[in-house]
Structure 1
Amino acid sequence: MATLDDDDIAAATVGDLRPYAAGVVLEEYNPAWPDWYAEEEAAIRAALGDVALRIEHTGSTSVPGLAAKAVIDILLLVPDAAAEVAYLSALEAAGYELRIRQPDWYQHRCFVRRVDSGARWNVNLHVLSPESGGPEIERILAFRDWLRTHEDDRAYYERTKRELTQREWKFVQHYANAKSGVVEEILGRALFG
């Protein structure tokens, strides 16, 4: 959950950096989202086999009852995220495009599949490894699990997101950055009680 400025965004982007051409749109929770995730998980497992150490549905679409952008966020753990040769071509063959490479932030990689490129739904596939990404993995899963079981914070987070959708964003990362204070506040409760 890194906060990035425009230079960071440009440096981490693989391929052309494209401004976010539309406002952020939240949809009411869709009970089909877990099924969409399950199809993606099966495709990732088929593509990677044992290289996929763990796959988790994360982000707002993984929290029942939470409004979200209709993008399935997935956390994929591989033995070494920096060793792209072990997974890059297999994920590309499965239809994922590498868009973000952040070697200075837990060796994070992000692949996407987009409806405008022929996918059935939008996907962000975040790749980390247990050794280099351990702290961030714990934070991602703690945030998801807390929101699943704490209605008050789920509502607070949704209100924040709805307020932020009223603004225009040059890059979707700016929207994510704007949520970071609330995310950190909720994470504080999730991790430290």
Structure 2
Amino acid sequence: MDGQAGNAPWYRAARVHIQAYDPSWPVRYAEEAELLTRTLRGAVVAVEHIGSTSVPGLAAKPVIDILAAVRDFDDFPTVADLLRGIGYTYTPESEADDASRRVFRKGPDDRTALRTHHLHVTEHRSHYWRRLVAFRDHLRAHPAEAAAYLRLKRDLADRHAADPGRYTRDKRDFVREVERKAGV
């Protein structure tokens, strides 16, 4: 894993595990989106279900990925405090590759256990926002590309189960190509 936590002697990331599509994922997203919208009140502009759990039929790590847009980061400390109050932990080390987002995780305190939710916070209509939504929408609209992505993910999970950072890095070329096709 990249960043400070990945280099700390106490840190060992959860293993990569891909599981069959679970029809409860959209329900879990909707429940969390409602909680986020209620908690963040006027600070949040939009919330979207992203990542593999947002693509019907696609196997994935069983972590609900959520994208939340704020008007700007001027009041980020307040947003972070509100998110902490509903169980999210701010993980700035996850932002090393893209400073236009803030990343939070929700789930067990034991960082070797798989989290339940992964929250990306960015400014509304930012390039980051457009990239993640376009990637999701492209996979939803192109089942053959979603199937190719799944093959890649399974192969990488087999090879890098103990190294989630490598798993993620090795998906980047595929993700960037899909984003290009999606016009981002």
TM range (shorter): 0.7 to 0.9
Task: Tell me the equivalent position of 2:148.
Answer: 156
Correspondence 1:48 to 2:59: no
Q: Answer yes or no: is the 8 Å Cα contact 2:67–2:120 preserved in 1.
A: yes
Tell me the distance in 1 between the aligned counterparts of 2:176 and 2:14: 28
Moved more, 157-166 or 79-88: 79-88
Moved more, 70-79 or 160-169: 160-169
Correspondence 1:146 to 2:123: no
Q: Deviations over 1:132-176 (max 9, x none)?
A: xx1111111000001001011000000000100112356422211
Task: Tell me the equivalent position of 1:69.
Answer: 61
Correspondence 1:105 to 2:125: no
Moved more, 162-171 or 97-106: 97-106
Task: Tell me the equivalent position of 2:11.
Answer: 18
Correspondence 1:129 to 2:123: yes
Please list every run of 5 or more consecutive structure 2 residues that lacks an aligned counterpart in the other structure: none
Moved more, 40-49 or 166-175: 166-175
Deviation at 1:116, TM superposition (A): 5.7
Deviation at 1:115, TM superposition (A): 4.3
SS at match of 2:18: coil
Please list every run of 5 or more consecutive structure 1 residues that lacks an aligned counterpart in the other structure: none
Q: Answer yes or no: is the 8 Å Cα contact 1:19–1:171 preserved in 2.
A: no
Tell me the distance in 2 between the aligned counterparts of 1:66 and 1:84: 33
Q: Answer yes or no: is the 8 Å Cα contact 2:63–2:116 preserved in 1.
A: yes
Moved more, 107-116 or 27-36: 107-116
Tell me the distance in 2 between the aligned counterparts of 1:85 and 1:76: 15
Deviation at 1:77, TM superposition (A): 0.7
Choose which of 77, 91, 95 in structure 2 pairs with 1:85.
Answer: 77
- Relative to the length of structure 2, the TM-score reads 0.86
Q: Deviations over 1:24-65 (max 9, x none)?
A: 110111110000001111111111111111100000000001
Q: Which amino acid aligns with 1:96?
A: Y
